[in-house]
């Protein structure tokens, strides 16, 4: 009996050993593929070669960007699909972009990751610097590259990534089903143009959690074709808040639904919770919740703007009643200070906004202003309970 037990234990050990060997991750260190890591030599090709090895490997594999190295990357395209379903990037070093004067090719994107399903980026200690200050003044109105663009990467996980000084948007998320971003730290000056933290479009089941986003534009912009987007425990500093849209530009049809923003703080932002649509568009923005929100010197703490982009009455389309339909929107549990007198702005289209709920709202003037009030335009159908300032919409 003892011998039988011993044999079973040995067989179990051998089985576990083979199992561990089969699941052990193989790392492809970019230094082994010719990267210099000195911050001045272009390491784009070396990183691309290392990624090719990762993507063609049969077992669990990961790209390693090692600690204590600085990698100059002029342009980088990482693409799939890969042979292994378990693919990763272990990101410990620093990646820096060239200056605007050294930029080569179009200015659409800097680092692009396409069609890599099941990708996990573990960036504990890793950082990306977009060298945006070389672009912002010289190229304020021209197209500037997005630093990190994900397209078609279903089942994506990105954690502990630090980014700064993007020329344009920091992270673009497009055409994804399933993504988790956690412990993301984005840091760009509040006057840096169009440096959105996240631009999300055509995606569903995306979560952004436990992150700090200091930007010069939207902390998060949720654009057309998005559903089931969750933003939880975030700090937005500077920039333009968390926005739905803009939607309906050039009379387009766009939809957004099932967006949930919870337990977030806004500090010195030009907007807090915002929905923005262009007159003349179509589609809908519905089933949207902003809840448990802290405000510190925020302009436009709550804003629905269905006249986005319109500066004069002559710019309003002929069919002014045509608009993206805004409905089933809840603002609940807001408290803090407003840096603008118009703390709540429900600027609805002539066709109105429907099922709008404001509940447990306490927004008072900051030291820079004397009063804070709510403004309504056109029909606002909904429920307004326990709100400061008082909301008197019909």
How far apart are alpha carbons 308 and 303 in whole angstroms? 11
6-29 burial, b at 16+ Cβ within 10 Å, e below that, comes to eeeeeeeeeeeeeeeeeeeeeebe
Q: Which two tokens stand for residue 124?
A: 């504990």
Which of these, 15, 8, 47, lies nearest to 30 by C-alpha position? 47
How far apart are alpha carbons 367 and 148 in whole angstroms? 38
How far apart are alpha carbons 155 and 133 in whole angstroms? 33
**CB count in 10 Å sphere of residue 330:** 18
- Residue 286: beta bridge partners? 257, 327
Going by the DSSP 8-state scheme, the letter that residue 13 receives in this structure is H
Active site members: 217, 240
102-132 burial, b at 16+ Cβ within 10 Å, e below that, comes to ebeeebebbbbbbbbbbbbbbbeebbbbbbb
- What is the CA angle 306-308-311, rounded to 5? 120
Instruction: Output the tens digit of pLDDT for each of the chain's 394 residues.
Output: 444 443 433 334 333 333 344 469 999 999 999 999 999 999 999 999 999 999 999 999 999 999 999 999 999 999 999 998 889 999 999 999 999 999 988 899 999 999 999 999 999 889 999 999 999 999 988 999 999 999 999 999 999 999 999 999 999 999 999 999 999 999 999 999 999 999 999 999 999 999 999 999 999 999 999 999 999 999 999 999 999 999 999 999 999 999 999 999 999 999 999 999 999 999 999 999 999 999 999 999 999 999 999 876 666 665 556 799 999 999 999 999 999 999 999 999 999 999 999 999 999 999 889 999 999 999 999 999 999 999 988 6
**Are 279 and 288 in contact, with CB atoms under 8 Å apart?**
no
**Are 161 and 123 in contact, with CB atoms under 8 Å apart?**
yes
**Are 185 and 191 in contact, with CB atoms under 8 Å apart?**
no
- Residue 198: beta bridge partners? 171, 220
pTM (two decimals)? 0.92
Kindly tell me the number of DSSP H helices and DSSP E strands found in the chain: 3, 30
**Are 340 and 367 in contact, with CB atoms under 8 Å apart?**
no
C-alpha distances (whole Å) from 179 to each of 59, 213, 220, 364 are 22, 18, 15, 36
How far apart are alpha carbons 273 and 204 in whole angstroms? 20
Q: Which two tokens stand for residue 86?
A: 């378990």
Q: How far is CA 81 from the centre of its chain?
A: 23
How much is the pLDDT for 368?
85
Q: Which positions ≥6 away from 8 have C-beta within 8 Å?
A: none
- Residue 289: beta bridge partners? 260, 330
How far apart are alpha carbons 97 and 130 in whole angstroms? 5
DSSP H/E element including 26: strand 26-29
């Amino acid at each position: 009996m003892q011998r039988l037990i011993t044999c079973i234990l040995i067989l179990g050990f051998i089985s576990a050993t083979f199992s561990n060997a089969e699941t052990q991750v193989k790392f492809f260190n970019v230094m082994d593929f010719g990267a210099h890591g000195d911050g001045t030599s272009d390491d784009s090709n070396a990183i691309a070669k290392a990624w090719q090895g990762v993507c063609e490997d049969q077992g669990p594999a990961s790209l390693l960007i090692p600690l204590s190295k600085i990698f100059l990357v002029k342009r980088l395209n990482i693409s799939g699909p890969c042979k292994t379903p378990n693919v990763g990037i272990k990101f410990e070093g620093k990646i820096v972009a060239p200056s605007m004067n050294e930029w080569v090719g179009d200015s659409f994107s800097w680092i692009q990751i396409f069609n890599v399903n099941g990708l996990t980026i573990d960036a504990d200690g890793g950082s990306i610097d977009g060298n945006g200050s070389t672009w912002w003044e010289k190229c304020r109105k021209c197209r500037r590259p997005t630093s990190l663009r994900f397209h078609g990467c279903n089942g994506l996980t990105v954690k502990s990534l630090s980014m700064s000084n993007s020329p344009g948007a920091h992270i673009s998320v497009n055409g994804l089903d399933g993504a988790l971003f956690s412990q993301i730290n984005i840091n760009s000056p509040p006057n840096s143009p169009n440096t959105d933290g996240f631009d999300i479009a055509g995606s569903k089941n995306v979560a952004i959690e436990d992150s700090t986003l200091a930007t010069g534009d939207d902390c998060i912009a949720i654009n057309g074709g998005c559903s089931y987007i969750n933003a939880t425990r975030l700090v937005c500093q500077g920039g333009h808040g968390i926005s739905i849209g803009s939607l309906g530009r050039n009379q387009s049809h766009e939809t957004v639904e099932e967006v949930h923003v919870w337990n977030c703080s806004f500090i010195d932002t030009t907007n807090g919770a915002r929905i923005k649509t262009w007159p003349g568009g179509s589609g809908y923005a519905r089933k949207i919740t902003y809840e448990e929100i802290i405000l510190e010197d925020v302009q436009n703490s709550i804003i629905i703007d269905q006249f986005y982009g319109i500066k004069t009455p002559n710019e309003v389309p002929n069919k002014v009643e045509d608009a993206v339909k805004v409905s089933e929107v809840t603002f609940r549990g807001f408290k803090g200070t407003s840096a603008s007198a118009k703390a709540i702005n429900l600027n609805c289209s002539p066709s109105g906004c429907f099922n709008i709920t404001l509940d447990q709202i306490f927004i008072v003037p900051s030291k820079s202003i004397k009063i804070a009030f709510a403004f309504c335009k056109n029909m606002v159908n909904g429920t307004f309970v326990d709100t400061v300032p008082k909301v008197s919409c019909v």
